[in-house]
Copies of this chain bind each other. A is one copy, B any other.
Amino acid sequence: MTQTTAGVVELRIPRRAEWVAVARLAVAAVANRLRFSIEEIEDVKLAVAEACTTCILQTDAGDQIEIYCETKEDGLTVRVRSLAGADQPSPLPAEPEPDARGALGIFLIQSLMDSVKHNAGRGTDLVMTKKVSE
Contacts and interface: CB of A to CB of B under 8 A. Distances in A.
Interface residues of A, number: 24
A131 B8 CA distance: 31
A13 interface: yes
Contact of A18 (B4, B11, B26): B4
A92 interface: no
Interface string A1-19: 0011001111111101011
Contacts of A11: 9-12, 26
A26 to B, nearest CB: 4
Interface of A: 3-4, 7-14, 16, 18-19, 21-22, 24-26, 28-30, 32-33, 85
